[in-house]
Structures are given as structure tokens and as C-alpha cells.
A and B are shown apart, each in its own frame.
Chain A
Amino acid sequence: GAGVSQSPSNKVTEKGKDVELRCDPISGHTALYWYRQSLGQGLEFLIYFQGNSAPDKSGLPSDRFSAERTGGSVSTLTIQRTQQEDSAVYLCASSLGTGLRNTEAFFGQGTRLTVV
């Protein structure tokens, strides 16, 4: 696609339910990032992928959070047994991620998750 696509754009879920967030990166981008942003706050790093592997999972807040990427393309972020503090905008970004230099990351519009 032309840009990074995230779905759903909005998700309201009941506390304790599982949710799955999807990110479709720009075609050909090998690096994919997940961030979380609470209202008025900066971007909290969650995890990133280089191809299908995740070199750094240190940002995942707890073992209720997991992410995978298959085929070097689409990624899903799963939150199990959601809690109210999980409410935030979840942003995905992708970049070419080749060579020694970081390359510009392009962001999707995010998924606004509300846990009630």
C-alpha cells in the first residue's frame, strides 16, 4: 500500500478481554516498530522487528503483551487480559531499515484502544 495501515482505528473492549491490533507496513520496509502513546505523552517504545525477528522486546510492559511478524510484512500486537491502564493509542511505523544508517520511519494513524 501507499502508507502504513493500522486496524482497527478504534477499539473499545471490556477489561479482561484479549485484543489484537494489526499493522500493514509499507511494501519493502524491513523494519517495523510498535509504540504506545498515552494522552499528551511521548512515544513509548514497545518492540521492533527487523524482518521477522524482534531484536529488542524490552519495551513490552508485561507478559500480557506479545507481537509477531510473519512473511516480513504484516505484524500483530496482542494484548491479553486487557487492563484499564492499557488504554492508549498504539502506533506502528515502518522504515527501509537497510544498511548502516537508520532510515526515516513512516507512521500509521494508530489504533485508539479503550478498555472499559
Chain B
Amino acid sequence: GQNIDQPTEMTATEGAIVQINCTYQTSGFNGLFWYQQHAGEAPTFLSYNVLDGLEEKGRFSSFLSRSKGYSYLLLKELQMKDSASYLCAVGAAGNKLTFGGGTRVLVKP
């Protein structure tokens, strides 16, 4: 089976940095995704890691350590529009995609 854990909620200040951690245990691993979901909307893709290391994409970066079953999403220069839920998802063999419970990030002025 698969078990994916991430914090429920985080609060940060506009302009600051926030790091959202995700730990996972899966039977088979085929990549880790981060999605952003604003309230009332569908999730949208942010990043994908399948090899160890850091992937940077503008203000967002995602890190993966396969040996530790660990990933984080780093949001820099936070903006008010970054207030959303951030979902960690693990891909398993056969293309099954399982999501964690999501982390609600609240950005305050």
C-alpha cells in the first residue's frame, strides 16, 4: 500500500519562504508530484521529481530523496495568491497516482 504524510496547515508572511515536507512509503515508486489547489478549483500541476535532488522552477522548487522517502516543496518570495492547498502525490508502478491529505498554506500580509 501507500502512505503519504504532509502537515495539515502552515502560515507564512508575504515575501517570506515556506517549506512543505512530504514523507511517503510506497510499494514501488515512479515519481513524486506536487500540485496546487485553490479553494473551489481543481488541482494544477507544479512539479515532478523522479531522481534525487532539487528541481527549480521560478519561485517554486521541489526536492526528492528516494532513500529517505522524503520530498519538500519550497515556495520563495511568497505572494498572497500563493494561499492554497499544496498536494504531494506519489506515482507507483502501473501509473497509479496517490495523493496525500494536502497542506493548506495561508499567506498573511
Residues of A at the B interface (CB closer than 8 Å) are 31, 33, 35, 40-43, 45, 48, 50, 55-56, 91, 93, 95, 97, 100-110
Contacts and interface: CB of A to CB of B under 8 A. Distances in A.
Interface stretch (B11-19, B52-60, B66-74, B91-99): B91-99
B106 to A, nearest CB: 13
Contacts of B99: 35, 42-43, 45
Contact of A107 (B30, B43, B92, B104): B43
Q: 5 closest Cβ contacts across the A-B interface? A: A102-B91, A42-B101, A107-B42, A43-B99, A42-B102
Contacts of B41: 109
Nearest to B45: A104
A105 B45 contact: yes
B87 A48 contact: no
Interface in B11-52: 30-31, 33, 41-45, 48, 50
Given A42-B100, A45-B99, A55 B43 contact: no
Q: How large is the interface on B (under 10, 10 to 19, 20 to 34, 35 or more residues)?
A: 20 to 34
Nearest to B48: A104
A50 B93 CA distance: 11
Nearest to B88: A42
Given A43-B87, A102-B97, A108-B42, 7 more contacts: A35-B99, A48-B95, A55-B94, A95-B97, A97-B95, A102-B50, A104-B45
Nearest to B30: A102
Contact of B30 (A43, A93, A100, A104): A100
Nearest to A110: B42
Contact of A101 (B30, B44, B45, B87): B30
A25 to B, nearest CB: 13
